[in-house]
Amino acid sequence: MRNLLWVIVILGLGACQLVSVQRVDGTVPVELRVDRVDDEAYWLEEWHRAIALPEGQLVQTLKTRELEFEQSANPGTRLRLVLLLAEGPQPVRDQARALELLSEFDAAQASDSAKALAALLTQVIKEQRWFSDKVDELNRKSKDSQTHVEELERQLRELTTIEQNIQQRELPSSRKEKQ
């Protein structure tokens, strides 16, 4: 029984992932850094870190990601750059470029979580583009409808003016008949 307990403890510890803890500035006092780049938690942490950065650091982070990608164009560096371009805040967002980088993504070299993230980002970008196109189309139709309504209101005012002019002409003649 004692040996079984030791085997379970050793297997449990062997299955644990190494985690390094770093101190960071900001609202979160401790940052958990997973050593495996292909872990789902890493990508979630990467995204949360990116959206929390101030604008100046975002631009610097984008330049760093681009440099890392130029030096080593592996799926991990590609996805780090794509994540920032696709879902980062407005100053660094470039979904067209992110989609282009995703189209060149080598799934054969990527881990399962990286493949899933690439597929998810591709789907999100395409859906956002579709929604954006739909909103643009609806805005155009709304503008066209507003122009049409304004034209109809103008025509109605002209017809009302004409009708009033006709009534004013008929009034003097009807007064003469009464006298």
Q: What is the pLDDT of residue 113?
A: 82
Report which of 25, 77, 76, 32 is spatially closest to residue 52, judged by C-alpha positions. Answer: 25
Q: What is the pLDDT of residue 146?
A: 95
pTM for the complete prediction? 0.58
What is the tens place of the pLDDT at every residue in 103-146?
Answer: 888 888 888 888 888 888 899 889 988 998 999 999 999 999 99
What is the domain partition of the chain in residue ranges? 51-133
pLDDT band at 174 (very low <50, low <70, confident <90, very high): low
- Tell me: pLDDT of 177 over 50: yes
Euclidean distance between the first and final Cα of the chain, in Å? 126
DSSP 23-65: E-SSS-SEEEEES-TT-HHHHHHHHHHHHHS-HHHHHHHHHHH
Percent of the chain with pLDDT over 90: 21
With b meaning 16 or more CB within 10 Å and e meaning fewer, what string describes 92-130? bbebeebbebbeebeeeebbebbbebbeebbeebeeeee
152: Cβ–Cβ under 8 A, 6 or more apart, which residues?
A: none
On the 0-12 / 13-18 / 19+ scale of CB atoms within 10 A, 18 is exposed
**Largest pairwise CA distance in the chain:** 127
Amino acid making up residue 64: T
- Tell me: pLDDT of 81 over 50: yes
What is the tens place of the pLDDT at every residue in 149-165?
Answer: 999 999 999 999 999 99
What is the tens place of the pLDDT at every residue in 17-43?
Answer: 444 434 444 443 334 344 455 577 788
Report which of 98, 117, 125 is spatially closest to residue 44, judged by C-alpha positions. Answer: 117
